[in-house]
Amino acid sequence: MATDLARGGTVRAKHIGKDIGAGLKGIVGGEIKGYTALLAEGREEAIYRMKSDAYRMGANAVHNVRFMSSMVDVGTVELVAYGTAVIMHEED
């Protein structure tokens, strides 16, 4: 079984409308659904890119997937997905 690191990432920025809503939620508390959606979309894109990277290497699976996020700049977040790209063979 051959292995290599597969990775995918994206950088997302907040929308001004989401910032206004976040400011109001900061006063009253609660989930900021616009940010939740932003992060969910970013994770999905990072997963897609990680899978594409694994496929490019000839793998057909990714094992031990991890996520990382970090703030790049004010209002901007980086989301990364990475794992071990492997070639899995089905038993006959």
User: What Rg do the C-alpha atoms of the chain give, in angstroms?
Assistant: 17
Domains and CATH numbers, the chain: 3-86 (3.30.110.70)
The amino acid at residue 17 is G
Looking only at the bridges linking them, the beta strands covering 76-86 and 3-13 are antiparallel
- DSSP-H helix ranges across the chain: 16-28, 33-56
pLDDT above 80: residue 17? no
Which one of 10-14, 16-20, 83-87 scores highest in mean pLDDT?
A: 83-87
Are residues 35 and 18 in contact, defined by beta-carbon separation less than 8 angstroms? yes
- pLDDT score, position 73: 83
pLDDT (tens digit, 9 = 90+) per residue, 25-84? 566 677 777 788 888 999 999 999 999 999 999 999 999 999 999 988 877 889 999 999
pLDDT-based confidence at residue 22 (cuts at 50, 70, 90):
low
